Structure 1
């Protein structure tokens, strides 16, 4: 049985997440478990939405050395199911009383997650960009 679609195709935050994720060498998007999921080869490096159709978090797997510090980030949460494997979810929408989303910072987190699973040629292509 196929999973129901858990996102709005016209969501501007999804468009921004796509822009960040698909800028990486050979990155691909496929729907998985009803959510936009980003792959480097056959391995997942990011997913938009974690818990439901209105979820605007971006799921990434940071470097193990950075994870502890990132747990204190105001936009970070430990997602169910994925959290025990090292994944974190970062809120992409602006929150009342918080600074605006830093998309440069999110792009760095996505790149770190990508590097964890990307093939050597993909990492070399990324490094060649400068």
Structure 2
């Protein structure tokens, strides 16, 4: 399966649904992987399907300090991703048996809110 494909029913398909639920979000391929963009411009979640290792994960834009806290507390679930980790992004493993979906949902929303234009933030908050 090419890295850019997402199997229905997979954890990555659930992430796709979470991301596309936000107003003005688009999915496009970047570096051979599915990525989600707020307002069509800024990436807030990137898929990593065995891209740099044999794991399936997502990389999420995160507020300052979140990455450090999560990686220190639960390194079996969270990691510092290559390329964007120095900017505070957090990696979330999707190939674990017990994904903490409520927390993943929070991380995805925080990532989206961190890069979305004001008009899209207002649209989400109005619903």
User: Which TM bucket (shorter chain)?
Assistant: 0.7 to 0.9
Instruction: Give structure 1 stretches of 5+ with no counterpart.
Output: none
Question: Alpha-carbon deviation of 1:85?
Answer: 1.6
Runs of 4+ in structure 1 deviating by more than 4 angstroms, as ranges, are none
Question: What TM-score do you get using the length of structure 2 for normalisation?
Answer: 0.84
Question: What TM-score do you get using the length of structure 1 for normalisation?
Answer: 0.82
Q: CA 1:50–1:88 in structure 2 vs 1: closer, same or farther (change >3 Å)?
A: farther
Q: Please list the CA deviations of residues 39-84 of structure 1 after superposition, one character each: whole Å capped at 9, or x if unmatched.
A: 0020100011165285421110111043332222421101111111
8 A Cα contact 1:7 1:49, kept in partner? no
Q: CA 1:31–1:73 in structure 2 vs 1: closer, same or farther (change >3 Å)?
A: farther
Which residue of 1 is the match for residue 89 of structure 2? 87
- Structure 1 residue aligned with 2:7, among 5, 10, 24? 10
CA RMSD of aligned residues (A): 2.0
Which residue of 1 is the match for residue 69 of structure 2? 69
Query: More displaced, 44-53 or 85-94?
Result: 44-53
Question: Alpha-carbon deviation of 1:6?
Answer: 2.2
Aligned pair count reads 121
Q: CA 1:23–1:107 in structure 2 vs 1: closer, same or farther (change >3 Å)?
A: same
